Amino acid sequence: MAIYNYIALKNNKDIVKGKVNAEDLREARESIRSLGFIPTKVYEEKTKGEEDNEKKTEVKGGKIKKLGLQDRMDFTSTLQILAQSGIPIIESLMFIENDAAKLKVRLVAKELRRQIMAGATFADTIAKYPDQFGQIYIGLVKAGEDSGELEKTLQRLLELLGKEAAIRGKVIGTLMYPMFVIVLAVIIVLVMLMFVFPVFKEMFDGMGKDLPWITATLMSAGIFLKTYWFFVPIILGSIAGFFTFIMRWQASKRKIDEFVLKVPLLCDLIQYSNFANFVAVMQVAYDAGVPIIECLYLANVTLTNYTLKTKIETATLKVQQGQHLSIALRSTRVMPKMILFMIATGEQSGRLGDMLLQATNFIDKKLDGIIDTMTKMIEPIMLIVIGSIVLTLALALYLPLFSSYMSD
């Protein structure tokens, strides 16, 4: 029989550790349940040599990496559930340190626990890792800890992260289809040029007639690509690199961000997807007791469009100077009128938090409608694009045959 170490929950709140003897992992879990515990982690006891190897591996991977959105959601969800059960923050972090699936999450929990045990607060400790958690997360945790409502704040953060993931999923889902069609179109063109057109070359040469310009051009391109095929990945890589550079270069990104706000429908998608996160953070931060100026600074972090971000920064300065929030935001001329109306109503009635929540729900419905409209428009447009490409290639192949038939 082997010895199995375990970490379990007792009475759904206390963390207990121990050992059981069992033939296998399944039997070990059953033994732990028979004790009235809920097993969360069960593993076979290692020999001294195996433990040393594990420690060396952990040291090698000990650098804390950036947490992705799903990592932060998992971390916050576990922390919130344990906090709700009345488990102290140190024990909660110990649980995550031992139970988390990913090494980087375990390392973050370990480092946070170590610093809290040394006397630091949870908020101060989180603040040392902006790359792992982000400014919004740090600001809200501080507000929650200062107000003594950390548990509620963690719940709000979890909802906020879930909302961010949902919005990201909607936008990516909308753009995935046209991207797939573009890649498919490129593959079709390359296959036709490199393998189909060269097959027709001998037949066209045998006709002894001049080829239409479109056929001659595509035929030459096909022969070049087939002869110098190794240039294809270089060309595609260069194009991808060029667009990546353009998107990351601040000067061009500013121009692109400004341009997309002038394109019908795309403008709505950019605006509402940006303000969905902006208003959601405003609402959560305001309900957590964060001052309105700091709410604006935290919410502005979520904006990805440079033009929108700049205008909201200007509005924030006006609020700092004493102007009403709704008036300052209206002066930007970039926020949808319905959202401005809700914010103004909230200010006048003293129920800004409630109106921000309603604005969040309104934006969600509006964004769903925009994405649905774009999806319905994109499908026929993509079909026309693919059809046009196929038609062009077919004409290039059959025009010489029609010309020959007509001349005969």
pLDDT at 407 over 70: no
- pLDDT of 37 > 60? The answer is yes
The C-alpha atoms of residue 258 and residue 263 are separated, in whole angstroms, by 10
Range scoring the smallest mean pLDDT among 194-208, 220-234, 363-377: 194-208
Of 86-95, 199-208, 380-389, minimum mean pLDDT range? 199-208
The pair phi, psi for residue 7, each rounded to 5°, is -125, 130
Give the CA distances from residue 94 to residues 88, 212, 239, in Å, rounded to whole numbers and listed in that order: 10, 74, 48
Question: Which among 311, 318, 272, 269 is positioned nearest to 292, based on CA atoms?
Answer: 318
Those residues whose C-beta lies under 8 Å from the C-beta of residue 45, and which sit 6 or more positions away, are: 2, 3, 4, 5, 19
Q: Are 307 and 327 spatial neighbours (Cβ–Cβ below 8 Å)?
A: no
CB atoms within 10 A of CB 207: 13
pLDDT at 54: 43
Distance CA(229)–CA(194), nearest Å, equals 8
Question: pLDDT at residue 406 above 80?
Answer: no
Other CB atoms within a 10 A radius of the CB of residue 219 amount to 21
* Residues of the chain above pLDDT 90, percent: 15
pLDDT category of residue 351 using cuts at 50, 70 and 90: very high
Count Cβ atoms within 10 A of the Cβ of residue 271 and give its class: 0-12 exposed, 13-18 middle, 19 or more buried. Answer: buried
Q: Which residue has the higher pLDDT, 245 or 247?
A: 245
- How far CA 259 is from CA of 58, 241, 343, in Å, comes to 48, 21, 27
Model confidence at 111: pLDDT above 70: yes
pLDDT digits (tens, 9 = 90+) for 8-31: 767 766 777 888 888 877 788 788
**Mean residue pLDDT across the chain:** 82
- Annotate 325-343 with b (16+ C-beta within 10 A) or e (fewer): bbebbbebebbbeebbebb
In this prediction, residue 408 carries a pLDDT of 52
Mean pLDDT (whole number) for 46-61 = 45
Q: Rounded distance, CA 408 to CA 290, Å?
A: 84
| Locus of tokens 């997807």 | 273
CA distance 10 to 70: 28
List the structure tokens of 211: 């080829």
Amino acid at the residue 304: T
Average of per-residue pLDDT across 164-172: 82
Name the residue type at position 390.
V
61 contact partners, CB below 8 Å, separation of at least 6 = 103, 107
Query: What's the mean pLDDT in 396-403?
Result: 78
**What is the reported pLDDT for 64?**
64
Contact partners, residue 286, CB within 8 Å, separation at least 6: 292, 295, 352, 353, 356
